A and B are shown apart, each in its own frame.
Chain A
Amino acid sequence: MTHAEEPARRGVLNWLLGLWGGGVLASIVYPVARYLAPPDIPEAAALSTNAGSAQALAPNSGRVVPFGARPAIVIRTPAGELRAFSATCTHLDCTVQYRPDLQRIWCACHNGEYDLNGRNVAGPPPRPLDPYDANVTGDEIVITRRA
């Protein structure tokens, strides 16, 4: 063996060692990366939900009800009109509530305010709340997602 051959041989061996290490690493990283991504669980998209008695909801008050997996808010304006919105604040995902003293929908997390039409009027929320349709059948309020 000549001295000139030595570095070449070492280079090939190091390359093989790197290939081995890379192969082992890849065969660990790939399954782990796939495992970490949660599988999609198809969520039955609720199109409508019952939101309780219409009688029991006095003017200038509101009620948060589950709509599918997320909350919705149904309010009766001081004028007696029923309205429904998504109850998820458009700022950072907190759940909003009705404030009779302000006559507004209010988010406690960062003091965001929406008017009776769901429009963001004060504080940090960037967008209005998603509006839903609220109808009454018998005494039951029915909230429906708009198509």
Chain B
Amino acid sequence: MTDGRWRAWIDERFPLDDVLESLRHKRVPHHRYSIWYYFGGMTLFLFLIQVGTGALLLLYYRPSATEAYESVQFIVSRVPFGWLVRSIHAWAANLMVASAFAHLFSVLFLHAYRRPRELTWISGFLLLLLTLGFGFTGYLLPWNEVSFFATRVGTDIAATVPVVGEGLLRFLRGGDDVTGATLTRLFGFHVAVLPAVATALVAFHLLLVQRHGMSVPPSIEQRAADPGTVRSIPFLPHFLLRDLFAWTAVLAALAALATFFPWELGAKADPFAPAPAGIRPEWYFLWAFETLKHVPPTVAGLSGEVVAVAAMGLGALAALLLPLLAGESPRARSVVVWAGAAALLFLSVMTGLALRAAAP
């Protein structure tokens, strides 16, 4: 069959031409803040890398307390390129969290959450929470000393949630303690539940991005005499090629990180050994870890831990609902910028303090 007949055959069954045609007309605004448009795509690329390398790791990984550590050891020492696949999975997880945070704060500071993109922001914020969930559930899977105690501490924090805390703790741990049952459970979340939810949310998020196009920051919009006159470039091939270039750069950076700084496996978890010194969570949870260290035991007659966890929960809820809480006026926008800057400062200072405390 010739190329044209193939196209006609497919087009009769699937509207490929419509899709291509709309892509051909799609344009992306081009201005001094355009660089921030690339972080969403970069997060998506890293998510795809996680799906691919995760599927590869599943071929050899065994989710049980007696075999998990040995199977990861087998992957990194015996399977050809197993060390590379595992290191890329671990590094890409960290870059994905960083890229998602960069995306979130750039969207916040450029006010891209405004009407009609409220649902894009909300689905994006939920995706960030899911990313953190992926990080938390994946951390335990190698069943090493550090991850074992980090999971004990992390799940214990869940117990401070008022009313449902105890139940939540048992739900997360699959019992009263972190055991092989916890490993199997978190494995299930990590490879089945979270990917299913994340895939659906990513599809929804992307659909909305396609539907509304890229948001133009208010400052750029005002400078242009007429909103329609903001400079733009075609999506095909200009923006796509730039996207691909950024993705290749990320891939190269990942390969370099994985090769020169391979992810350590550490010692196998021993539930009856004392916690080793320097137990701390992954860097993206450090701010919460540090905050809990600074909260006094009791605040206004309540347990300090409960107050801190409640405050973090309220902060997250406010961030989730930001587009509904923030008004359209320039004054409201400047409140959002200051609140965003304060949040960023708080996260940075707390993470910095935790890192300094951990430094030898």
Contact = CB atoms under 8 A, between A and B. Distances in A.
A35 B80 contact: yes
Nearest to A40: B78
A38 B78 CA distance: 9
A24 B80 contact: no
Nearest to A35: B81
Contacts of B195: none
Interface of B: 56, 59-60, 78-82, 84-85, 248, 251, 255
Contacts of A20: 248
Nearest to A20: B248
Given A20-B248, A24-B248, A31-B85, A37 B56 contact: no
Given A20-B248, A24-B248, A24-B251, A36 B85 contact: no
Interface of A: 20, 24, 27, 31-32, 34-39
B48 to A, nearest CB: 12
Contact of A39 (B79, B85, B255): B79
B307 to A, nearest CB: 48
Contacts of B60: 38
12 contacts: A20-B248, A27-B255, A32-B81, A34-B81, A35-B79, A35-B80, A35-B81, A35-B82, A36-B59, A37-B80, A38-B60, A38-B79
A24 B49 CA distance: 14
Question: For B59, B81, B85, B255, which residue has the most chain A Cβ atoms within 10 angstroms?
Answer: B81
Contacts of B78: 39
A35 B56 CA distance: 8
A44 B82 CA distance: 24
A30 to B, nearest CB: 8
Contacts of B59: 35-36
Nearest to A41: B78
Nearest to A36: B59
Given A35-B80, A39-B80, 13 more contacts: A31-B81, A31-B84, A32-B56, A32-B81, A35-B56, A35-B59, A35-B81, A35-B82, A35-B85, A36-B56, A36-B59, A39-B78, A39-B79
Contacts of A27: 255
